Amino acid sequence: MAQTVAETHRRETQHRYTLDDLLTLMARLRAEDGCPWDRRQAWQSIVPHTIEETYEVADAIERRAFDELPGELGDLLFQVVYYAQFGREEGRFDFHDIVDTLAHKMLRRHPHVFPDGTLSSRRGDGELSETEIKARWEALKAEERAARGDVSRPASALDDVPTTLPALSRAAKLGKRAAGHGFDWEDERGAIAKIREELAEVEVELERGERQAAREEVGDLLFAVVNLSRRLGGDPEQLLRGTNAKFERRFRYVERAIGERGGSLDAATLDEMEQHWQAAKQREPGRTAG
Contact 110, 125 (CB under 8 A): no
pLDDT of 275 over the 80 cut: yes
Predicted local distance difference test score (pLDDT) of residue 286? 66
Question: 43 and 89, same structural domain?
Answer: yes
Residue 179 lies in a domain: yes
Amino acid letter, residue 155: A
Mean pLDDT of 66-77: 96
The total of other beta-carbon atoms located within 10 Å of residue 230's CB is 20
CATH code at 69?
A: 1.10.287.1080
Residue 137 lies in a domain: no
* Cα–Cα distance, 5 to 69 (Å, whole number): 9
Q: What is the pLDDT of residues 27-68, one digit of tens each?
A: 999 999 999 999 999 999 999 899 899 989 988 998 899 999
In 148-284, alpha helices (H): 167-179, 188-208, 211-231, 236-260, 270-283
Residue 175 lies in a domain: yes
Predicted local distance difference test score (pLDDT) of residue 288? 58
Question: 248 and 186, same structural domain?
Answer: no
pLDDT of 19 over the 80 cut: yes
Question: 230 and 241, same structural domain?
Answer: no
Predicted local distance difference test score (pLDDT) of residue 1? 39
Mean pLDDT of 270-283: 94
pLDDT of 263 over the 50 cut: yes
Q: Residues of the chain with pLDDT > 70: what percent?
A: 89
Residue 216 lies in a domain: yes
Predicted local distance difference test score (pLDDT) of residue 134? 73
Question: 267 and 227, same structural domain?
Answer: no
**Which one-letter DSSP state was computed for residue 211?**
H
Question: 259 and 192, same structural domain?
Answer: no
* Cα–Cα distance, 144 to 135 (Å, whole number): 14
Domain, as residue range, for 275? 237-283
Question: 196 and 207, same structural domain?
Answer: yes
Q: Buried b / exposed e across 239-261, counting CB within 10 Å, b at 16+?
A: ebbeeeebeeebeebbeebbeee
Question: 193 and 241, same structural domain?
Answer: no
Mean pLDDT of 265-283: 94
pLDDT of 159 over the 60 cut: yes
Question: 244 and 220, same structural domain?
Answer: no
Question: 13 and 54, same structural domain?
Answer: yes
Contact 196, 216 (CB under 8 A): no
Return the biggest CA–CA distance within the chain: 73
**pLDDT tier at 9, thresholds 50, 70, 90:** low
Residue 243 lies in a domain: yes
Q: What is the pLDDT of residues 222-235, one digit of tens each?
A: 999 999 999 999 99
Residue 182's alpha-carbon distances to 22, 23, 132, 234, in angstroms, are: 46, 45, 16, 20
Average pLDDT of the chain, as a whole number: 88
Contact 155, 146 (CB under 8 A): yes
* Cα–Cα distance, 31 to 36 (Å, whole number): 9
Among 93, 123, 145, give the residue marking a domain's end: 93
209, with CB counted inside 10 A (0-12, 13-18, 19+), is: exposed
Among 47, 68, 93, give the residue marking a domain's end: 93
Q: Buried b / exposed e across 185-199, counting CB within 10 Å, b at 16+?
A: eeeeeebeebbeebb
User: By mean pLDDT, which of 9-13, 85-89, 153-157, 183-187 is the weakest?
Assistant: 9-13
* Cα–Cα distance, 179 to 268 (Å, whole number): 48
Predicted local distance difference test score (pLDDT) of residue 13? 62
Q: What is the pLDDT of residues 190-219, one digit of tens each?
A: 999 999 999 999 999 999 999 999 999 999
* Cα–Cα distance, 176 to 137 (Å, whole number): 14
Of 132 and 172, which is predicted with more confidence?
172
- Residues with Cβ within 8 Å of residue 271, at least 6 apart in sequence: none
* Cα–Cα distance, 129 to 126 (Å, whole number): 10
Residue 6's alpha-carbon distances to 1, 15, 66, in angstroms, are: 14, 11, 11
Predicted local distance difference test score (pLDDT) of residue 122? 72
Q: How many domains does the structure of the chain reveal?
A: 3
Query: Considering only CA atoms, which of 194, 177, 183 is closest in space to residue 228?
Result: 194
Among 72, 93, 114, give the residue marking a domain's end: 93
Residue 110 lies in a domain: no
Predicted local distance difference test score (pLDDT) of residue 233? 92
Residue 51 lies in a domain: yes
Residue 104 lies in a domain: no
